[in-house]
Amino acid sequence: MNRVLYRDGSVYSPADPFATAVLVEGSSVAWVGSEEGADAQVARSRGAGGEPLEVVALEGALVTPAFVDAHVHTTETRLALEGVDLSGATSLADALDRVSAAAAAHPGRLLLGSGWDETGWPEQRPPSAAELDRAAGGAEVYLARTDIHSAVVSPALARRAGLEVPSGWDGRVERDDHHAARDAAHAHLRSDPARRRELQRLALRAAAAAGIGSVHECAAPHVGSPEDLRDLVATSRAEALPEVLALWGELVADEDRARALVERLDLPDGAFLGLGGDLCVDGALGSRTALLREPYSDAPGAAGAPSRGHGYLDAAAMRDHVVACTRAGLQAGVHAIGDAGVDLALEGFSLAAEVLGVPAVAGARHRLEHVTGVDAAGIATMARLGLVASVQPAFDAAWGGPDGVYATRLGRERALALHPFAPLAAAGVPLALGSDSPVTPFAPWEAVRAAAFPHVREHAVSARAAFTASTRGGWRAARRDGEGALVPGAPATLAVWAPSDLVVQAPDDRFQAWSTDARSGTPGLPDLTPGTPAPRCLRTLVRGRTAHDAGVLS
C-alpha cells in the first residue's frame, strides 16, 4: 500500500483546524495533524517493522478536499474547447470573421462553435442563416449560444437535421429544432466511439487540473446517448480521473419504467444517481426560453404577443416522475430557471408529496438544477420537501447585476431577485455548486467567489459556506454524506494549492472579526476578494490516485 505524508503546509480539515500535515494510505486519509505528529509518522516508518513512507514537502501549500462540480456536460465541454470560440467576440462582424477563418482553415468541414452572446454586440442580434452560409462558404455550421439553449445554424446543417428552411429563414433554432440540429452536428461522435472517449478523457483531465475530484454528469436524450454516458463512466473508472456520478434526464411515468430505464442505461454500481439533471421544465433566460410569470422585458413573442418563455413539462407529469423515482430509490430532478418554471417544478414535487407523504419525498433528497428564479415561498417549499439546490454562482457573475444580461431580459428589479444563495442556505436548503460546463468553465474557486461576493449583497454566503457547498455539498447532493472532508477514514480525494495568505471571509463583518482571531480555530481559505487571482492547483488526488500533477511538489 502506498503511504504518502504531506507536511509543512495547511490542511483544511474539521478533524484539526490547525493541521499542517495529512497522511494518505492507499485510497484513504489515514491521519491529519501537526508537524510534531508528522515527525512521529516519519520516525515510525524508519523504525523496526515500519512501512515505507513517501514524504512530500508542501512548503506552505494548502491541502483541501477536492471540489465537486455538481452540473457538467463532459463531452460537450471538450467539443466546445475544440470548436470556434465566440465567447470573446465583440460584434456580429467579429463572430462572422471567426467563422470565416475556421472555414478557410478546414474547407468543407462541419464547423462547431459556441459562446456567442448578442446582448454585448452593437448589432444586438446573432448571425442569420444567410450570413453563416456566406461566411462558411456553404459548409455546415452549428453555433450554440452561450447558454446552449438555442443556436444559429446554416441552411446545409438544418436540411440534414430534417428542418424546414423557408425563404428568409433567420437560422435560429430552439427547443425540438435545436435538439435536432445539435444531434445532426454531433452525429460524427456516434460513429467514432474512440474519438468520443478521447474528448471525455481530455475534459476530465481539465477538471482535475482545476482541483475537481468528481463531476455530476447531467446527461439526457437531447444532450447525448446512453453509449456516451457509459463510455464516460467507464473512462473515469479506468484511469486516475475525476469520479463521474451520472444523472439521466428522461421522464418516466411509473416505477416499472424507471427501473427498466436504469437497466437499459446499464451503468456500474455506485455511478448512477437518478433521473434528473437536464430533464428540462423550461429553458434559459439568455435564450428567452426560461418560463416566466411575467413577459420578457426586451422582446415580443410570436405575432407581437408578449413572450413568457416555454414550459416543457406539466405538474402532473412531474408528479408521476417524482413518485416513480422515489419508489424506485432514485433521485428525481429537473432543470428549472424562470420563476414560473420553478413554480411548476415545485408544484410537481408537492403533488408527489401528497401521494407519498412529505417524509418519503424529503428522504429521497431530490434536486432542482439552477433554481435561478426561486422566491421566498419557493424556498420554503424546497426546505419542507428536502430538495437540494444545485446552483451555478458563475451565472450571476457573468450575467447578473443591474446592467447584465438578466437585467436586459427581465428589467433590473426582477434581475436583482435572482440567485438568492443566502436565503436558500438560511432556510436549510442544501446547496451544491456547479459550472454547467461548457456554459461556464471548470473554475470552482471562481464559483465560490461568486457565491461569497454576488451582485446582491443580501444573497452572499460566507466563503467557507460556499466552499463547503462546492465540496461536501456536492457529495451530499449525491447522497454520499461521508465524503468531502479530510478526516481519518475518508476517501483521499483532495487538492493541493499553491501557497497563499489564508483568510476568513464572511458577509457579516462582525462575524469575520471574531473568526479571523487565531483563537477561534476557524480554518482559513485563500483570499477571494474580487480581482484577486484564483488559487493554482498543484496536485489532485482521486481516492489516492494522482489525477493531476503540476510537477511542483516533491
The answer to whether residue 206 is domain-embedded is no
**Of the residues 188, 219, 241, the one at which a domain ends:** 188
Given this model, what pLDDT does residue 514 score? Answer: 46
* 59 and 86, same domain (yes or no): no
Higher pLDDT among residues 95 and 46, named by residue: 95
One domain for residues 29 and 115? no
Whether the CB-CB separation of 332 and 326 falls below 8 Å is answered with yes
Percent share of the chain, pLDDT over 90: 84
Kindly indicate the confidence band of residue 510, based on its pLDDT and cuts at 50, 70 and 90.
very low
Mean pLDDT for 86-96 is: 94
Please indicate, yes or no, whether residues 60 and 129 belong to a single structural domain of this protein: no
In a domain? residue 147: yes
Q: What's the structural domain count of the chain?
A: 2
- How far apart CA 441 and CA 68 sit, in angstroms, is 14
- Cell for 465? 459556506
For residues 124 and 165, state if they share a domain: yes
45 contacts: CB under 8 Å, gap ≥ 6: 3, 51, 52, 53
Q: Specify which residues 152 forms β-bridges with.
A: 143, 172
Nearest by Cα to 358 from 338, 328, 387, 330: 387
Q: Are 37 and 89 within one domain?
A: no
pLDDT at 169: 87
Asked whether residue 179 falls in the same domain as residue 100, the answer is yes
Q: How many helices (H) and strands (E) does the chain have?
A: 22, 24
Tell me whether residue 511 is in a domain: no
**Which runs of E-coded beta strand occur in 401-527?**
431-433, 494-497, 502-503, 525-526
Convert the pLDDT of each residue in 389-427 to its tens digit. Answer: 999 999 999 999 999 999 999 999 999 999 999 999 999
pLDDT band at 508 (very low <50, low <70, confident <90, very high): low
pLDDT of residue 521: 65
Confidence check: pLDDT of 187 > 90 = no
Q: What is the rounded distance in angstroms from the CA atom of residue 161 to the CA atom of residue 196?
A: 21
Which residues is 143 bridged to in the sheet? 113, 152
Same domain, 120 and 168: yes
Mean pLDDT, rounded, for 46-71: 93
163: domain CATH number is 3.10.310.70
**Mean of the per-residue pLDDT values of the chain:** 93
Cα–Cα distances (Å) from 78 to 140, 442, 495, 496, in that order, read 20, 11, 22, 24
Using DSSP's 3-state secondary structure scheme, residue 182 falls into: helix
Whose cell is 480539515? That residue is 13
> What local confidence, expressed as pLDDT, does residue 322 receive?
98
User: Is 446 contained in some domain?
Assistant: no
Over residues 228-266, the pLDDT tens digits come to: 999 999 999 999 999 999 999 999 999 999 999 999 999
Give the number of residues written for the chain: 554
Q: Which of 188, 222, 257 is the last residue of a domain?
A: 188
Q: Beta-carbon neighbour count of residue 342 at 10 Å?
A: 28
Q: pTM for the full model?
A: 0.94
Give the model's confidence band at 501: pLDDT under 50 very low, under 70 low, under 90 confident, else very high.
confident
Q: How far apart are CA 310 and CA 328, in angstroms?
A: 30
136: in domain: yes
Domain extent, residue 173, equals: 81-188
201 within a domain of the structure (yes/no): no
Amino acid at 481: D
With respect to residue 469, please indicate whether it lies within any of the assigned structural domains. no
